[in-house]
Amino acid sequence: MNDGSPENVLFIVLDTVRKDRLGPYGYGRDTTPNLSAFAEEATVFESAIAPAPWTLPVHASMFTGLYPSQHGADQESPYLEGAQTLATTLSNAGYDTAAYSSNAWITPYTNLTEGFDDGDTFFEVMPGDYLSGPLSRIWKAMNDSERLRDLASGAVQFGAKIHEYLASGDGADTKTPSVIDNTTEFVAGSDAEEGWFAFINLMDAHLPYYPPEEYRQRFAPDADPDAVTQNSKTYNSGAREIDDAEWADIRALYDAEIAHMDAQLGRLFDWLKQTGRWENTTVIVCADHGELHGEHDLYGHEFSLYDELINVPLMVKHPALDRERRDETVELLDLYHTVLHATDVVPTNAPTTGVDDGRVVEFDRTRSLFEDTYRQFDDVDTPDPGQRANGDADRDYAFAEYAQPVIELHHLEEKAADAGIAIPDDHRARARLRTARSHAGKFIRADRIPDEGFDLREDPDESRPLDTTDDAVAAAERVLSTFESATGGAWTEAVDGRADALDDADEKLQQRLSDLGYME
């Protein structure tokens, strides 16, 4: 960009935050005064679509500019390989880079922290006697071995243990203040001539909801965190019902968590202003996905691609953008190109990358939010799957994917079994899902449950499914078919979500996995 572009980039992910629970998007409770003030300085995007409904594939897409089916980071292969990360590219170009988060998926073991020179992640803040590097490394080693690859699909206790820990009071203390402290320390110490790139992921709004007492008293005074359902699988499995009063308490606790996160963001923003760094910093604020609180009879962010999960908040402060609201379709993977544009960095292969055979995704002006030609894909020489699918469409479509949810399914089955419930083969927890979404129509294709279509103009809550006799749904289905043809074909045949390879492992390997927590 021109010389007036800020040198620095602050990239903030509000993990698990719904768009409709924020002041900038019209929420009635005053939970986010700092984000509301920030929105007055930024462009607020109304139709930003996440490429998946959970952390790992979404961050991998934002860090590479690739769709989940292209980069392959999902629950069956839970780490990013074969693509150079945004942080690696910026570090190679001379930027100071850092990532701070307490999210279990943003770690060196998933390769999402590749290229960050500094950072503090989940494995540094988890209790040392609970989880350690060897347990994570064997997960990766199992995927690396062809003989053991099925093992990695079946040995999902690792992921289940993380979920169980996060769904308990023991794992609930917020790390957000330390994330903010670490970020200011990094920025204050940065002396790179090119500038700095700081990425933070704030986990307050992720289950379980144990907000600091000050915020619980303000926003959820009648809610007892220990009395409400804090594990989504107990509800989604049918093991426990949640009545309207409990849903109200859950939503109030969620609000309190968001309010605490907003206060901490305000502290960071104020510090940047007080130290004279605010004007020289591009600021991106988004969520990686949302959360369901009973809508569609679901809890959490699993087993679906409804808009509560994939239509996420996005606000960007940069001189090239007006202070306004924009309603055109945006995909979160476009942020990869937007950051490259903001920093004027041309991606080149970094010789120090630890990601094998790292593919370098070139900068694409049609995917930068700063370009007048944003999402005008007609003249792209080598279109990606989304660009190809949009080629003949009469509207702009975004795409989201949900691959085999092996860890979520394992945990769901455990909760169901405890309650004497069997999860049937046609349960949505076993389904793979893909969607094409425009402002008009949305089509969700699934392999074990019925496909769903919606006319979002008439049914924004997605409460009245339609088939392809509806024009908007039919158009979305055609576009999705083109996308699928560019990503290996449609997911229409059911696949086995669980492998029995553990039963075939030799005694020594079974003992090693038992020692590491994989097997009981």
Average pLDDT over residues 146-156: 44
Q: According to the model, what pLDDT value does residue 386 have? A: 97
Q: According to the model, what pLDDT value does residue 122 have? A: 53
Q: According to the model, what pLDDT value does residue 493 have? A: 76
Q: According to the model, what pLDDT value does residue 519 have? A: 38
Average pLDDT over residues 400-407: 87
Most confident of 288-292, 404-408, 412-416, 506-510: 288-292
d(CA 301, CA 179): 24
CB 371 within 8 A of CB 377: no
Sequence-ordered list of residues with C-beta below 8 angstroms from that of 332, at least 6 positions apart, any chain: 48, 49, 50, 51, 58, 61, 62, 286, 288, 312, 314
CB 38 within 8 A of CB 285: yes
Q: pLDDT tier at 3 (50, 70, 90 boundaries)? A: low
In the chain, the percentage of residues whose pLDDT exceeds 70 is 83
Distances (CA, A) of 305 to 433, 480, 494, 505, 512: 7, 14, 18, 36, 37
Does residue 225 have a cis peptide bond before it, meaning omega lies within 30 degrees of 0? no
User: Is 273's pLDDT higher than 70?
Assistant: yes
CB 78 within 8 A of CB 56: yes
d(CA 275, CA 288): 29
In the chain, the percentage of residues whose pLDDT exceeds 90 is 73
Residue 79's CB is within 10 A of a number of other CB atoms, namely: 23
User: Is 505's pLDDT higher than 70?
Assistant: no
- Share the mean pLDDT of the chain: 86
Average pLDDT over residues 478-504: 74
State the Cα angle at 311 between 404 and 345, rounded to 5°: 90
d(CA 471, CA 458): 13
Q: What is the pLDDT of residues 184-201, one digit of tens each?
A: 999 999 999 999 999 999
Residue 251's CB is within 10 A of a number of other CB atoms, namely: 20
Helix (H) or strand (E) holding 97: strand 96-101
Q: What is the pLDDT of residues 70-121, one digit of tens each?
A: 999 987 788 898 899 999 999 999 999 999 998 878 888 789 999 999 988 7
Q: What is the pLDDT of residues 332-368, one digit of tens each?
A: 999 999 999 999 999 987 764 444 456 899 999 999 9
Q: According to the model, what pLDDT value does residue 2 have? A: 59
3-state secondary structure 394-451: CCCCEEEEECCCHHHHHHHHHHHHHCCCCCCCCCHHHCCEEEEECCCEEEEEECCCCC
Q: Domain locations in the chain?
A: 22-516
Which CATH number among 3.40.720.10, 3.40.50.720, 3.60.110.10, 3.90.120.10 corresponds to the domain 22-516? Answer: 3.40.720.10
Identity of the residue numbered 414: E
Distances (CA, A) of 506 to 141, 513, 515, 520: 16, 11, 14, 15
Helix (H) or strand (E) holding 212: none
Nearest alpha carbon to residue 395 among 382, 381, 383, 377: 377
Q: What is the pLDDT of residues 21-54, one digit of tens each?
A: 999 999 999 999 999 999 999 999 999 999 999 9
Burial of 420 (0-12, 13-18, 19+ CB in 10 A): exposed
Strands (E), 247-318: 281-286, 292-293, 299-300, 311-317
d(CA 227, CA 245): 12
State the Cα angle at 212 between 210 and 216, rounded to 5°: 80
> Facing residues of 17 across strands?
none
Average pLDDT over residues 407-427: 91
Q: According to the model, what pLDDT value does residue 290 have? A: 98
Q: pLDDT tier at 69 (50, 70, 90 boundaries)? A: very high
- Per-position b or e across 340-360, b if 16+ CB within 10 A of its CB: bbbbebebeebeebebeebeb
Identity of the residue numbered 257: E
